[in-house]
Amino acid sequence: MTDSADASIPPASAAATPTAPREAVPSREPREDRYPFAAVEAKWRARWTERQTYATERTAHRGPKFYALEMFPYPSGDLHWGHVRNYTLGDVAARYQVMKGRHVLHPMGWDAFGLPAENAAIKNGFHPAEWTRRNIARMRDQFDRMAFTYDWSKEVNTASPDYYHWTQWVFLQLYKAGLAYKKNAPVNWCPSCQTALANEQVVAGLCERCDSAVTKKMMSQWFFRTTQYADRLLAGHETLDWPEGVLTMQRNWIGRSVGAELVFKVDGMDADIPVFTTRPDTLFGVTYMVLAPEHPLVERLIEGKRSAPKVREFVERMRRQTEIERTATDAPKEGVELEDCYAINPANGQAVPIWIANYALLEYGTGAVMAVPAHDTRDFEFARQYGLPILDVIQPPQDTSEDATGQGRRNVDAIAPLDEAYTGPGVMVNSGAFNGRPSEDGKSEITLWLQQRGLGKATVNTRLRDWLLSRQRYWGAPIPILYCDACGELPVPEDQLPVELPLDVAFTGKGESPLATSSSFGTTACPRCGGVARRDLDTMDTFVDSSWYFLRYPSARDASEPWNRDVMRHWLPVDQYIGGREHATMHLIYARFVTMALYDLGLVPFEEPFTRLFNQGIIYKDGRKLSKRDNVVPPDSTCDEYGVDTARCHVLFLAPPDESAEWSEKGIEGAWRFLNRVWRHVTQNLARYQADWANTLPAEPNEADRTVRRKVHQTMQRVTEDMERLHFNTSISALMELTNTLYAHGADCSSAVWSEAADRLTRLLAPFAPYLCEELWERLGHEREVYFAHWPAYDAALTVADEIEVVFQVSGKVRDRVKVPADTAPAELERLARANEKVNAALGDRPVMKAIVVPGKLVNLVAGK
């Protein structure tokens, strides 16, 4: 407002039009001709509860099943517009399926374990369970207010013992199948959360939850063998109706690469160094060897050497580096040469020096790299830096044509040293018996050659790591494993599940599992020998909880088993899953992995849990993502002011559902006015409504009748098509257009036609504005909720206008628009175009070379020169 104090505005006029402060609210105060949302919402909320409208059984025995699911929320206690958008999308889709006659399961639950509850406990002294319970109660109430059609009898809460009982059971099934194992490994460690993290939870070197810089730490931890399913996870993509972007992200994350494992021997020592490479064809170009700083062989190689302390210092320094320092784009390559250590190239017996360097990662491949600086950009950079030899073994194709765009090409005649590595294919040189071979063939030929001598084999590597699931935290499902001095590692017998979280723990935040502070939890009787067994003191990653929750909903209250097989067969897999893209490489990979593992164990009859996936866009506020941590814009005040239906319509109308959107209340007036127009028009014309309109439609419709009926049927068609694609923003505009048509022509049409329009409008709008439409539906004389009303079918013949506008073009440019009967034949259209005055003016004396006629649309006359 300050910049309106412009010098060009005369002070006099400002004084002449004093802008009195306006009260914003009165326009929405209840009034005779306004939609009284507060009263309507109270009435129908009570009635839905009383009638159990949204119980799954109410849609049973209708048609085929439909499992509609949205990713369940973390119960942070604060519903924000991102939630509202996501769950409104799911709710509209579920309501549509009910109206289409499907047997619909639409459940909701809580991803209730996790750090915020524990941190709140440390901070405020609440027990996490209490904090969680309160938040759930609050959010459930908010969801009900939003008119979401959840069947609360199917509610799940991952932090409840009757749920995590089965999370532990799932763990044990995977354990028994050899898919869960414990190993000592360098793990991602968040110093702030004081816990290990899965690879997927480290984002740009930062903890996904708290943004602290992650470091590495050696720990004995539980893993799931996700890598064993890499190929299956990739192959399964073929069967999924998912957004291409998510599939691509998963493919990249899994990062399958085909290559070979080749064995280098250590000179003068009985030790092998296997390396993984995708370029066996460059083997003759190896000029040094690189080991990851944490490589287990390092200690053996430097033992007793004079330089050992220096190497150890380097390793220690690398280990202390945070992930972000180590992987930053501009992180300099650093390394040290191991004194008197040489690796023997299996191709030619040549001894090359062994280095350790920060760019070799223990977690990938074998943790060792055969360095070919001439043909690998990283090796090249490192060799340059440390003055290591660069040996050319692949000659680029000798194509001298100027416009060839071969990547990494350079002039082979150049005498100057290379200024970059050549990474493309070519002809092998300096490669002994392989000289002259195409490098692409050389890959398999070298691999085979080494394989015959026991020094190599073809292999496939993935970037995907096994899933680290141990967490040194309290608020999670305890890992159901025991350690007995006599019997070793043992699973907790299934009849002793759940292993319940103890209540007497101290939240020290000291990096030790809080479960260790419990007086009762730590030990129990060994199920095998009866001696003392120690419990595993870690809890599971909360992604384990959410990797199977969709299997639990249909059997949510079943105390005897995780899921009933028949119930499972009826409902699963999920027909439509809605959630954010941010889960592409986390939850959606974990859930697929667990489902596949359970399938292999014969526990579920399908391999893929989510048939169709829809990613809703993110809502931003001031360019920042709305999140559970900050930047919360609560929907409550908007609902207080405009009502829930307006809030639902506005958030859907804001932007296409799969695009991100900047949060804005600008424009909410549009949704509010729209719903009021519907309310006013229907309620003020109720006396005209004829319940039997279908039998009294006029035999000779007047102009208004035809216009209104056409619009009604066109709207049914458009909204139905949009519903299938979840393009709800355009559904709403179509309904606005219908309403505008009723305002313009509703008064002039017959009662039967108006009645059809009122009936159709109420049904089509019901999924978006359920409170308003229930009330209108009742006033139209219906006993049963509009929720159960069937979705209307349109008559295609009625969507076509009698008279249509056709465009005449000359060489693609519009020259005239004329109204013609809809059934005008193409030949007649062409004749009209050729006779058209404006067309002829544009043609001048040029001849018509060609005529394109698109019936119902246009005629394009192509002019000659």
Segment 717-776, which members bind RNA (CB under 7 A)? 727, 729-730, 732-733, 736-737, 740, 743-744
Using CB under 7 A as the binding rule, whether residue 241 contacts RNA is answered as no
Using CB under 7 A as the binding rule, whether residue 852 contacts RNA is answered as yes
Measured between alpha carbons, how far is 750 from 701 in angstroms, rounded to an integer?
Answer: 8
Minimum gap (Å) between residue 389 Cβ and RNA: 17
- Rule CB under 7 A: choose which of 287, 345, 646, 860 binds RNA: 860
As a whole number of Å, the end-to-end CA separation of the chain is 59
Using CB under 7 A as the binding rule, whether residue 513 contacts RNA is answered as no
Binders of RNA: how many residues, by CB under 7 A?
95
Minimum gap (Å) between residue 113 Cβ and RNA: 22
Residues 330-349 that bind RNA (CB under 7 A): 331-333
Residue labelled with tokens 């150049």: 414
Residues 202-221 that bind RNA (CB under 7 A): 202-204
Q: In sequence order, what are the residues at sequence separation of 6 or more whose Cβ sits closer than 8 angstroms to the Cβ of residue 452?
A: none
Q: Which of 312, 813 has the CB closer to RNA? A: 813
Tokens for 829, please give them. 């259209």
SS3 11: helix
Minimum gap (Å) between residue 101 Cβ and RNA: 26
Q: Are 742 and 681 spatial neighbours (Cβ–Cβ below 8 Å)? A: yes
Buried b (16+ CB within 10 A) or exposed e, 64-88: ebbbbbbbbbbbbbbbbbbbbbbbb
Q: Is the dihedral of CA 349, 355, 358, 362 positive or negative?
A: positive
Minimum gap (Å) between residue 371 Cβ and RNA: 8
Using CB under 7 A as the binding rule, whether residue 406 contacts RNA is answered as no
CA–CA–CA angle 317, 320, 324 (5° rounding): 110
Stretch touching RNA by CB under 7 A, among 196-204, 305-313, 542-550, 823-831: 196-204
Minimum gap (Å) between residue 596 Cβ and RNA: 22
Minimum gap (Å) between residue 813 Cβ and RNA: 7
- Rule CB under 7 A: choose which of 358, 576, 720, 762 binds RNA: 358
Buried b (16+ CB within 10 A) or exposed e, 219-242: bebbbbbbbebbeebbebbeebeb
- Rule CB under 7 A: choose which of 11, 18, 21, 26 binds RNA: 26
Using CB under 7 A as the binding rule, whether residue 710 contacts RNA is answered as no
- Rule CB under 7 A: choose which of 129, 219, 361, 412 binds RNA: 361
Minimum gap (Å) between residue 689 Cβ and RNA: 19
Residues 29-48 that bind RNA (CB under 7 A): 34
Residues 460-479 that bind RNA (CB under 7 A): 461, 463
Using CB under 7 A as the binding rule, whether residue 227 contacts RNA is answered as no
Minimum gap (Å) between residue 276 Cβ and RNA: 5
Residue labelled with tokens 């030619």: 348
SS3 string, 740-766, reads: HHHHHHHHHCCHHHHHHHHHHHHHHHC
Stretch touching RNA by CB under 7 A, among 135-143, 352-360, 633-641, 750-758: 352-360
> For 214, which DSSP code?
P
- Rule CB under 7 A: choose which of 395, 811, 824, 840 binds RNA: 811
- Rule CB under 7 A: choose which of 378, 410, 437, 457 binds RNA: 378
Stretch touching RNA by CB under 7 A, among 359-367, 384-392, 424-432, 535-543: 359-367
| CB atoms near residue 413 (< 10 Å) | 7
Q: Which of 141, 828 has the CB closer to RNA? A: 828
Q: Which of 540, 649 has the CB closer to RNA? A: 649
- Rule CB under 7 A: choose which of 51, 384, 528, 680 binds RNA: 680
Minimum gap (Å) between residue 207 Cβ and RNA: 13
Residue labelled with tokens 């039998």: 695
Q: Hey, what long-range contacts does 670-676 have (CB within 8 A, 24 or more apart)?
A: 671/642, 671/646, 671/732, 672/28, 672/642, 672/643, 672/646, 674/649, 674/732, 674/735, 674/736, 674/739, 675/35, 675/643, 675/645, 675/646, 675/649, 675/769, 675/772, 676/34, 676/35
Q: In sequence order, what are the residues at sequence separation of 6 or more whose Cβ sits closer than 8 angstroms to the Cβ of residue 327?
A: 205
Tokens for 49, please give them. 């509860």
Residues 624-663 that bind RNA (CB under 7 A): 653-656, 659-662
For 65, 90, 557, 611, the CA distances from 60, given in Å and listed in that order, are: 8, 20, 18, 21
Minimum gap (Å) between residue 148 Cβ and RNA: 23
Residues 257-296 that bind RNA (CB under 7 A): 257, 259, 275-279, 292
State which H helix or E strand residue 484 sits in.
strand 481-484
Minimum gap (Å) between residue 794 Cβ and RNA: 17
- Rule CB under 7 A: choose which of 86, 226, 366, 638 binds RNA: 366
Using CB under 7 A as the binding rule, whether residue 252 contacts RNA is answered as yes
Q: Which of 382, 777 has the CB closer to RNA? A: 382
Using CB under 7 A as the binding rule, whether residue 317 contacts RNA is answered as no
- Rule CB under 7 A: choose which of 55, 240, 249, 601 binds RNA: 249
Q: Which of 532, 862 has the CB closer to RNA? A: 862
Binding mask 787-806 for RNA (x = CB under 7 A): -----------------xx-
Measured between alpha carbons, how far is 855 from 865 in angstroms, rounded to an integer?
Answer: 27
Measured between alpha carbons, how far is 104 from 92 in angstroms, rounded to an integer?
Answer: 12
Using CB under 7 A as the binding rule, whether residue 621 contacts RNA is answered as no
Residue 643, sorted as left (phi over 0), alpha (psi -120 to 50) or beta, turns out to be left
* Side chain identity at residue 283, one-letter code: L
What is the torsion angle, in degrees rounded to the nearest 10, for the CA atoms of residue 336, residue 339, residue 340 and residue 346? -20
Stretch touching RNA by CB under 7 A, among 176-184, 223-231, 358-366, 701-709: 358-366
| 467-468 sheet: strands from edge to edge | 195-197, 180-190, 215-224, 467-468
Residue labelled with tokens 């040469």: 337
Minimum gap (Å) between residue 554 Cβ and RNA: 32
- Rule CB under 7 A: choose which of 152, 253, 386, 483 binds RNA: 253
Using CB under 7 A as the binding rule, whether residue 105 contacts RNA is answered as no
Bridge partners, residue 429, by sequence: none
Tokens for 128, please give them. 């996490």
- Rule CB under 7 A: choose which of 151, 294, 376, 575 binds RNA: 376
Residues 428-467 that bind RNA (CB under 7 A): 461, 463
Using CB under 7 A as the binding rule, whether residue 807 contacts RNA is answered as yes
Minimum gap (Å) between residue 789 Cβ and RNA: 24
Q: Which of 104, 769 has the CB closer to RNA? A: 769
For 820, 821, 822, 849, 850, the CA distances from 825, given in Å and listed in that order, are: 10, 9, 9, 21, 18
Q: Are 757 and 738 spatial neighbours (Cβ–Cβ below 8 Å)? A: yes
